[in-house]
Amino acid sequence: MLDRDEDILKAAEDWKNAGHGVALATVVETWGSAPRPAGSSLVINNDGGFLGSVSGGCVEGAVVTEALDVIESGQPKLLEFGVADETAWKVGLSCGGTIRVFVEKVG
């Protein structure tokens, strides 16, 4: 996993230059116990490849799925993940926190 922002942005640039569609997912807000701090990023290509982390692994799959839609449509999304009684069986954060992740297509 790449943790440094410059590594993630370099991967995005390399994928884009190689002709891939690319999206960048960034943690923009956290509440409570969140696995990754605001500013953490995940870069995703149109083949479903990704580097980085927005949640330490617990919601990356859902973010990748949403990012593929963003790459296709060009429309950014603001995603929210957390734990609540009604969502306990869906994708969420086992740590009890909540995160908001902004996903945008890399131009």
- Distance from CA of residue 66 to its chain's centroid? 9
Angle of CA points 72, 74, 78, to nearest 5°: 105
pLDDT band for 45, please (50, 70, 90 cuts). very high
* Residue whose C-alpha is closest to residue 27's, from 86, 80, 74: 80
Q: CB–CB of 53/36 below 8 Å?
A: yes
- Mean pLDDT (the chain) is 85
> Other CB atoms closer than 10 Å to residue 70's CB: what's the count?
24
The tens digit of pLDDT for each residue in 67-103 reads 999 999 999 999 998 755 444 445 554 556 788 999 9
Helix spans in 1-59 (H): 5-17
* Residue whose C-alpha is closest to residue 10's, from 41, 37, 48: 41
pTM for this model (two decimals): 0.84
Q: 15-19: which pairs have CB atoms within 8 A and are 24 or more residues apart?
A: 15/43, 15/45, 15/49, 16/106
